[in-house]
Amino acid sequence: MEAIAISLAEAVMSGLFRSLSDLISSTHFNRFDRRDKILSELKKWEKLLLKINASLEDAEEKQTTSRSVEFWLRDLRDIAYDAEDIVDELAYEAQRRQMKEESDPSFSSRLVRKYIPTCFLSCNPSHIKFSSRIESKILNLTARLDDAVSIKNDLCLVENGRGRYDRVKNTLRISSSLVDESRVYGRESDKDAVIDMLMNDGCDIGDIGVACIWGMAGVGKTTLAQLVYNDTEVKSFFDLKVWVCVSEEFDVVRLTTTMLQAVTEESFSVKDLDLLQVRLKEKLCGKKFFIVLDDVWNENYEQWELLCRPFIEGAAGSKILVTARNESVVSMMATCGTYHLRELKNDDCLSLFTWHALGASGFEGHPHLKTIGEEIVKKCKGLPLAAKILGRLLRTKGNLMSGKT
């Protein structure tokens, strides 16, 4: 049970860090008045979490010999759960305000938004009440994080300078088109919906049909794109396919080179963008192509437009599928539909968790672990990445496999 609690602390803190970053960068977050303490306090959270993150590796090593470190990790888990609840509440309120604005003609006008100060629009009594209540929760959580950092310092935990979140982030930057479909749960209807977008020839605006999958970190956007990419119907519909992992650095030369190497099956060392794009344009000419751009962060339209120039000679029906977590990225790129990927249903999340923890899709061989397993999965809140991380951590620890709790 102790190792399970510690693994939970690590996974939940990692998930919180990603969720917090997503919320702050989201366009929904603009619905909050900048005079509120909300943004400044959440920025403090990021800094405090980074300090805590840098010591997690040392804490994991010392918790077996230090009860104080073990208790500190347990406290972190509880703090992270409470912080996640606050982040979820903020995200929900931001989306609610956006829907309210879009449905109310008096707020939907761009001129109203442009010329009436944001603080005036935020003087809605319900907004004021929410801000007051949530600010109290946030300030309390900030104090708890401050205490956690102070205790960390007292415990003399070593900071490694490059914490767990950075390592997880870097790992997530790498992807390929391959997927084990037998180990994907609950995404059948999502896959069908995205394929329908791609097969709709009448939805293109301009020269390129761009469809987008968007959603929070860890919800399974890459996995869904992989399922679509490898679908039999998709394979037969397009003349050629290309998979590109984009990530945070939107390097047009690198991305163009990757696409060119994929369609020619040749290696290119040249770095001249003009030569690369002219060659790629020739290879795509007259072909109905399907390109997946996985994990896109770029919000610079000029860079996006530059990348797309070789695609203009493609045949009608050519499509690009983008996966992104930021709504602003999706708004800039999408021309033929977006698909908002939601969390897994609990049963599907449970199946995913048990596979990674036990190598089985259920608890038939380990009935005594069912209750605790179900409780752990509830904490994953339908996020496939959280279920995988926790399952692998527990499998590595050996507790679930051996039946020790």
Residue-number span of the structural domain to which 126 is assigned: 2-171
Asked which of 320, 340, 360 is the last residue of a domain, the reply is: 340
Following DSSP, what letter does each residue of 182-246 receive, concatenated?
Answer: GG--S-HHHHHHHHHHHH-GGG-BTTBEEEEEE-STTS-HHHHHHHHHT-HHHHHH-SEEEEEEE
pLDDT at 350 exceeding the cut of 70: yes
Residues 158 and 284 in one domain: no
Asked which of 288, 323, 340 is the last residue of a domain, the reply is: 340
Q: How far is CA 241 from CA 207, 318, 341, in A?
A: 18, 10, 23
* pLDDT on residue 65: 80
Residues 209 and 334 in one domain: yes
Question: Has this prediction a pTM greater than 0.75?
Answer: no
Asked which of 171, 191, 211 is the last residue of a domain, the reply is: 171
Residues 139 and 157 in one domain: yes
Quote the percentage of the chain above a pLDDT of 90. 37
Tell me the CATH number at 237: 3.40.50.300
pLDDT at 118 exceeding the cut of 50: no
Q: What is the DSSP letter of 150?
A: H
Residues 238 and 143 in one domain: no
* pLDDT on residue 259: 96
- For 240, the token pair is 């050629």
Banded model confidence at residue 380, pLDDT cuts 50, 70, 90: confident
Among 18, 24, 37, 96, which Cα is nearest to 328's? Answer: 24
Quote the percentage of the chain above a pLDDT of 70. 77
Number of domains in the chain: 3
Residues 145 and 113 in one domain: yes
Residues 316 and 352 in one domain: no
By residue count, the chain amounts to 405
Banded model confidence at residue 302, pLDDT cuts 50, 70, 90: very high
* pLDDT on residue 16: 67
Residues 402 and 288 in one domain: no
Residues 152 and 23 in one domain: yes
Residues 385 and 278 in one domain: no
* pLDDT on residue 397: 55
Residues 200 and 284 in one domain: yes
Residues 223 and 331 in one domain: yes
Residues 250 and 186 in one domain: yes
- For 20, the token pair is 């917090």
Dump pLDDT digits (tens) for 128-139. Answer: 677 788 888 999
